Homo-oligomer: A and B are copies of this chain.
Amino acid sequence: MQTLTVELADRSYPIYIGEGLLTQKELLCKHISGHQVLVITNKTIAPLYLDVLRDHLSDYHYSELVLPDGEQYKTLEVVATIYDKLMEDKHNRTTTLIALGGGVVGDMTGFAAASYQRGVNFIQIPTTLLSQVDSSVGGKTGVNHPLGKNMIGAFHQPQCVIADIDCLKSLPPRELSAGLAEVIKYGLISDVEFYHWLDRNMDELMEMNSGLLEEAVYRSCVNKASVVASDERESGIRAILNLGHTFGHAIETSQGYGNWLHGEAVSVGMVLAATLSERLGWIKASEVVAVQGILSRASLPTEPPPMTCKEFISLMVVDKKVLDGRLRLVLLKNIGEAIVTSDVNEVDVCSTLAALGVTE
């Protein structure tokens, strides 16, 4: 097991990464301060791991809630069912919410924890690669609005994160790939060495080599934790974590939540960001090809769905990364070095989209 601390002063917390962690009762229980717990999971994950948790938590005032599975259920209405459960079972301010599942469960549980009685404790047990490397680090919680992704939410840090690599064995191949999109992102934005390590090991990662997966999760979390520690509220540098995301959110919104996985949309978004970076003269054409290559080897899409340029732009303008109407994008100065820029005009964006087959 590897342990990493996300340094956020009095909100610092540990991330445990390793095999067989779900079977370790004490690892979980030492982070529960009160007598009440609510485990929140979904219909897919419940049959796999809920029994183990229920056994660990038999000494507590215990509740559980099984949500429907899928990004399309990441809504305020579903969070309201969490409040209902907490109220019905008389949970008070000392309760601990435990998120057992992927990013959707984690984001909604975190938002419920941020807002129930103005804030209670929560613990993340991410069961997908994407949630282990992304949504469980950094305290972003929230739900989607019909007109935009993650538009409603809060910053709320967990007590700890338990990332059990064994959980990845039950992951459908498409979700493994979606997680690898974010893993590759960390290499691209801030860790060129990690990028080359991934390039060398991608085939074995795709074959679910546990040791390599643990290392990939650990290095991803180290990269994310370092960025988050220096800018918890995303007033500056944290925005680089959104490489590919402004394009990606536009794809997700246009295609309907749940039809494209988040990581798949981000994969295409990163290809677009790399292409635009090359257009601005920052990286080489061969590097764009290499980025497309590593994403393809992770079985990720590298071409946008049938959308018009107009549709892209209008969806990108409502993205949270936009400040006072000005499009802000994360681009690559180099492989391993991302920057945030507002100096991109719509013409360049459209030309980039056109180069990847997007019509006006």
Contact residues of A with B, CB < 8 Å?
34-36, 76, 80, 83-84, 87-88, 90, 92-94, 111, 114-119, 140, 142, 145-148, 151-155, 233, 317-318, 320, 322-325
Contacts and interface: CB of A to CB of B under 8 A. Distances in A.
Most chain B beta-carbon contacts within 10 A, residue among A80, A92, A153, A155: A92
Contact of A34 (B34, B88, B142, B324): B324
A147 B87 contact: yes
B151 A154 contact: no
A79 to B, nearest CB: 8
Contacts of A325: 35, 92
A317 B90 contact: yes
> Lowest 5 A-B CB distances belong to which pairs?
A87-B147, A118-B153, A117-B320, A115-B152, A94-B324
Contacts of A155: 118-119
Nearest to A317: B90
Nearest to A234: B118
A117 to B, nearest CB: 5
A111 B114 CA distance: 12
Interface of A is mostly: mixed
B92 A118 contact: no
Given A35-B324, A83-B145, A93-B323, A115 B153 contact: yes
Interface centre among A116, A320, A324 (most CB of B within 10 A): A324
A146 B85 CA distance: 12
Contacts of A76: 76, 80, 83
A161 to B, nearest CB: 19
A275 B324 CA distance: 56
A115 B323 CA distance: 17
A145 B116 CA distance: 10
Contact of A324 (B80, B92, B140, B322): B92
A305 to B, nearest CB: 23
B154 A142 contact: no
A308 B83 CA distance: 27
B35 A145 contact: no
Given A87-B318, A318-B90, A117 B151 contact: yes
B145 A87 contact: yes
A246 B108 CA distance: 29
B115 A154 contact: yes
B323 A92 contact: yes
Given A148-B87, A152-B83, A318-B87, A118 B93 contact: no
